[in-house]
Amino acid sequence: MADNILEVNNLKKHFPINGGIFKRQVNSVKAVDGLNFNVKRGETLGLVGESGCGKSTTGKVLLRLLDATEGEVKFEGRDIHKLDKKDLRSLRKEMQMIFQDPYASLNPRMTVAEIVGEPLDIHNLAKGKEKEERVRELLDMVGLSSKFAKRYPHEFSGGQRQRIGIARALAVDPEVIVCDEPVSALDVSIQAQVINLMEDLQDELGLTYIFIAHDLSVVRHISDRVAVMYLGKIVELADKDDLYDTPKHPYTKALLSAIPVPDPQRQREKIILEGDVPSPINPPSGCTFHTRCPYAEDICKQEEPVFEEKGEDHLAACHFTDKLE
């Protein structure tokens, strides 16, 4: 399709484990293990999963903050993992990131103006008066008063710091922003403010978001499509309403049923998954979810299910999708 801004093919990221007296590679952590998906221009793609499923690593590999072990990430047709340093730097203008921890992702020794202005220096976008003007404009865009420009990060609350992080990402006028748990460290009342801000900015600037989070309610609210990850693989990908209303993978179903709903009168059937997520060093054979799946049969242990269309634009990897209904 022409309107795909990102195309991801068979993307893998394995972290080597070295051991023995010669420190040879003895095994690897398969953090991301074969992802295929596209991101459409202007949409928000939600990426959900439990801790250790590889969603943050995916975000980093998409931006080439980490090199991929295998596979490609194409931004407007160009594989960013094949670019040389110079081209990569100019590509960074197009793809930016917002981080989870607003306390750790801002340099405590730089003022807000310096933090937000730094990308402008690096990419030679603005200098002097023009830069000052642009910084003011950016702070204004994220709802911070420009009189804060001379202050340091410690003087701000979590929500305000996250706004600074957003302003920094926007400084270079990017196309795609990877947001790694941007609101999970914030208080509930502040979370909603930041989500609304991100939605407004998307409308205004035509941004494409990849929104990584573990909070499924937030992801449903902000995303157009949602991908569910388990042990380094996408197990289901669909339009958000399809995915939440008619999940086609037992993991998605269990995940959704596990969320506590703020309505004490609602009675729901809960699927309590047993055990923990297995280690990504030695993932289970066949379907990696079979160790916790209530529907698993012999075939699930032997054969890995194909990630295929189970409904219109609704992809899932499961042998027994039919049994779910």
User: What is the contact surface with other proteins in residues (CB under 8 A)?
Assistant: 50-51, 157, 159-160, 187-193, 195-196, 199, 214, 216-218, 220-222, 240-241, 244, 254-265, 270, 272-277
> Which one, 53 or 167, has the nearer CB to other proteins?
53
Which residues on adjacent β-strands are paired with residue 176? Answer: 95, 208
> Which one, 3 or 241, has the nearer CB to other proteins?
241
Q: How far is the CB of 275 from other proteins (least distance, A)?
A: 8
Q: How far is the CB of 187 from other proteins (least distance, A)?
A: 4
Q: How far is the CB of 214 from other proteins (least distance, A)?
A: 7
Q: How far is the CB of 105 from other proteins (least distance, A)?
A: 19
DSSP secondary-structure letter at 111?
-
> Which one, 124 or 265, has the nearer CB to other proteins?
265
Looking only at the bridges linking them, the beta strands covering 44-48 and 70-75 are unpaired
Q: How far apart are CA 288 and CA 296, in angstroms?
A: 11
Structure tokens at 134: 């642009």
Structure tokens at 184: 């999970």
CB contact at 8 A, 77 and 248: no
Please give the full DSSP string across 69-129, using - where no structure is assigned.
SEEEEEETTEEGGG--HHHHHHHHTTEEEE-S-TTTSS-TTS-HHHHHHHHHHHTT---HH
> Which one, 110 or 190, has the nearer CB to other proteins?
190
Q: Which residue shows structure tokens 């957003």?
A: 166
> Which one, 96 or 288, has the nearer CB to other proteins?
288
> Which one, 68 or 164, has the nearer CB to other proteins?
164
Q: How far apart are CA 102 and CA 157, in angstroms?
A: 9
Q: How far is the CB of 55 from other proteins (least distance, A)?
A: 12
Burial annotation 55-69 (CB, 10 A radius, 16+ → b, else e): bbbbbbbbbbebebb
Q: How far is the CB of 49 from other proteins (least distance, A)?
A: 9
